[in-house]
């Protein structure tokens, strides 16, 4: 059979779950992983251990792959261009991926295509931050290094010119943004294929705790239908204008005055789409694989009235197995997704999905399981 080989750069849980979704599709999977112990490296057959920052390693890895895709956005743009020059399809390609790698490039592009964002501009030093504050509503101001941040890292909320010194210490360009008065965060997840087919998942509500995604509710409760449609269209438009291939997550603020503003973009399967593994007809991971191979996309619609995802973070106790057993006994419908990672406090080591007709019940079951696994709930 001529079933293709997908080369996945990065051995984290997104790669692990993409492999899981690729198995029934009959897709062969090859992994470039930092270590043999990485989350995905534990479960994939064809693993190359190496450094994605080294072009020779990437080139050697790409040999025999029909397409290259990613579990993270950290591969240097020039390496991606080199692979493309070698004739290896890279999806998403470097021209799209740079918008998820560099927040400055992303904001400039979204401005150019008329997508609403928080007020923002690049800033050069703390005094410039004060000037940015004075141009709008004053402090607090959000500062972000344009590259390298994730899960709250590389982001500061500063209340004064003195506090604004820290972000500049890394020597990376800094973007200033207004602190949006939002009522909640939403995410619009879409998948786009090279021939331009695209699907939109229902818009979800995403609740963060300390800058880390904690709970996702699909679909977002009480979301005005017109606003939901607007968010889906916005995400599909961004995917098209940026030339995204594969999964695109558009993180959004819903403001008190009824607008939606783009917070962040991610060009890979995303935490806000994990609910789809058990809650949608086709999961984000299956559709990502289908998209990077230019296969027809699967139906993204929900299978349940409500699906809730809660992340399982590491707690103080390193062994979750007995808690895991308890959670299975308590709720035979619970869907647990463990990543095979060592437990460290605050580290994402898994997630749980629940679904059903009663949102309160679905939320309680997911929260209880995640809390019990973490050790913050003991009964």
Q: Which is nearer to a copy of itself, 242 or 349 (CB)?
A: 349
DSSP label at 88? Answer: -
Where is the binding site for ATP, in residues? 103, 144, 177-180, 185, 263-264
Q: Which is nearer to a copy of itself, 41 or 228 (CB)?
A: 41
CA distance 193 to 287: 9
Minimum distance from residue 350 beta carbon to a copy of itself (Å): 7
Minimum distance from residue 286 beta carbon to a copy of itself (Å): 9
Are the C-beta atoms of residues 61 and 31 closer than 8 Å to each other? no
Q: Which residues bind a copy of itself (CB under 8 A)?
A: 1-4, 16-17, 19-20, 23-26, 28-29, 41-45, 47, 277, 281-282, 290, 295-299, 303, 318-321, 324-325, 328-329, 332-333, 335-340, 342-343, 350
For the beta carbon of residue 140, count every other beta carbon within 10 angstroms: 15
Tokens of 208: 């963060």
Tokens of 222: 């009480």
Give CA separation, 259 vs 12, 118, 135, 142, in Å: 34, 11, 21, 19
- Residue partners of 271: CB distance under 8 A and separation at least 6: 206, 213, 216, 309, 311, 348, 351
Q: Which is nearer to a copy of itself, 23 or 209 (CB)?
A: 23
Q: Which is nearer to a copy of itself, 15 or 90 (CB)?
A: 15
Minimum distance from residue 334 beta carbon to a copy of itself (Å): 8
Q: Which is nearer to a copy of itself, 7 or 94 (CB)?
A: 7
Minimum distance from residue 83 beta carbon to a copy of itself (Å): 23
Where is the binding site, in residues? 103, 144, 177-180, 185, 263-264
CA distance 365 to 262: 31
Burial 159-192 (b: 16+ CB within 10 A, else e): eebebbeebbeeebbbbbbbbbebebbbbbbbbb
CA distance 190 to 35: 31
């Amino acid at each position: 059979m001529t079933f293709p080989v997908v080369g996945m750069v990065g051995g984290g849980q997104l790669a692990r779950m993409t492999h899981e979704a690729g198995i029934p599709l009959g897709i062969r999977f090859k992994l470039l992983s930092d270590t043999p112990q990485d989350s995905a490296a534990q479960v994939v057959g064809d693993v190359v251990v190496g450094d994605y920052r080294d072009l020779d390693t990437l080139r050697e890895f790409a040999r025999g792959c029909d397409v290259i895709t990613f579990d993270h956005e950290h591969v240097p743009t020039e390496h991606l261009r080199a692979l493309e020059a070698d004739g290896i399809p890279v999806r998403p390609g470097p021209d799209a991926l740079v918008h998820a790698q560099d927040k400055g490039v992303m904001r400039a592009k979204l401005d150019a295509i008329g997508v609403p964002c928080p007020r923002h501009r690049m800033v050069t030093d703390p005094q410039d931050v004060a000037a940015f504050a004075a141009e709008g509503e004053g402090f607090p101001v959000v500062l972000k290094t344009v590259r390298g941040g994730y899960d709250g890292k590389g982001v500061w909320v500063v209340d004064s010119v003195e506090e604004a010194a820290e972000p500049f210490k890394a020597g990376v360009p800094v973007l200033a943004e207004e602190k949006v008065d939002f009522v909640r965060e939403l995410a619009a997840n879409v998948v786009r294929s090279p021939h331009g087919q695209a699907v939109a998942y229902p818009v979800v509500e995403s609740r963060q705790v300390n800058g880390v995604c904690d709970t996702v509710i699909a679909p977002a409760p009480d979301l005005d239908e017109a606003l939901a449609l607007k968010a889906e269209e916005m995400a599909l438009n961004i995917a098209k204008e940026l030339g995204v291939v594969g999964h695109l997550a558009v993180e959004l603020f819903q403001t008190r005055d009824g607008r939606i503003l783009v917070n962040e973009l991610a060009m890979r399967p995303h935490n806000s789409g994990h609910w789809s593994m058990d809650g949608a007809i086709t999961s984000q991971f299956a559709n990502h694989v289908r998209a990077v191979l230019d296969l027809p996309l699967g139906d993204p619609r929900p299978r349940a009235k409500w699906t809730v995802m809660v992340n399982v973070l590491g707690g103080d106790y390193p062994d979750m197995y007995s808690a895991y057993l308890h959670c299975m006994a308590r709720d035979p419908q619970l869907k647990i997704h463990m990543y095979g990672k060592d437990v460290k406090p605050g580290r994402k080591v898994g997630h749980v999905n629940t679904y059903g007709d009663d949102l309160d019940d679905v939320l309680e079951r997911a929260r209880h399981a995640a809390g019990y696994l973490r050790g913050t709930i003991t009964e």
